[in-house]
Structure 1
Amino acid sequence: MHDHRHDLSTHRLLSCREAANFLGLKESTLATWKSTKRQYLPVVEVGRLARYRMSDLLDYINNRMQGSNFPQD
């Protein structure tokens, strides 16, 4: 049987603050990544608000763990 709660939690949209806290970064670092495209992290635009999908954050972490070190603030 498939657990749909897992699907909902991974597709949840997080605010910039929530995403930064989850990644262990400052909000300003996340904003810099978004504006300069220094790091690829998909952003969902909801009006003028930037939101981050939990599944994208998890993918980002998994990809960084397989390659080089996680970027520092």
Structure 2
Amino acid sequence: MNLNDHDTLFNRKQAAQYTGFTAGTLAVWDCTKRYDLQPIKIGRSVRYRKSVLDAFITSQAVR
């Protein structure tokens, strides 16, 4: 997946607020690969693409 010029990057705390999960939950999912949120790791920093988070939320929605 290419990083779109307009795709917002969230740090883990921002991604947690955006998705409604805790930062700890996102960290566990990254570590265990339970869900592939495609985190971008830059040194010790982790970033999440807004488009990937949106796709994840949509895929998990109960209809």
TM-score (ref. length: structure 1): 0.72
Q: Tell me which structure has the larger Cα radius of gyration.
A: 1
* Structure 2 unaligned spans of 5+: none
Matches within 5 A, 1:43-58: 43-58=39-54
Note the alpha carbon deviations across 1:4-41, whole angstroms, 9 max, x for none. Answer: xxx61xx1110000001111011110100011111221
Aligned equivalent of 2:13: 17
Distance in 2 (CA, whole Å) between partners of 1:46 and 1:13 is: 12
User: What RMSD over aligned residues (CA atoms) do the two structures have, in Å?
Assistant: 1.6
Q: Are 1:26 and 2:15 matched, yes or no? A: no
Identity of counterpart residues, as a percentage?
36
TM-score (ref. length: structure 2): 0.82
Structure with the bigger percentage of helix = 1
Q: Provide runs of 4+ in structure 1 moved above 3 Å.
A: none
Distance in 2 (CA, whole Å) between partners of 1:30 and 1:51 is: 11
Q: How many residues align?
A: 59
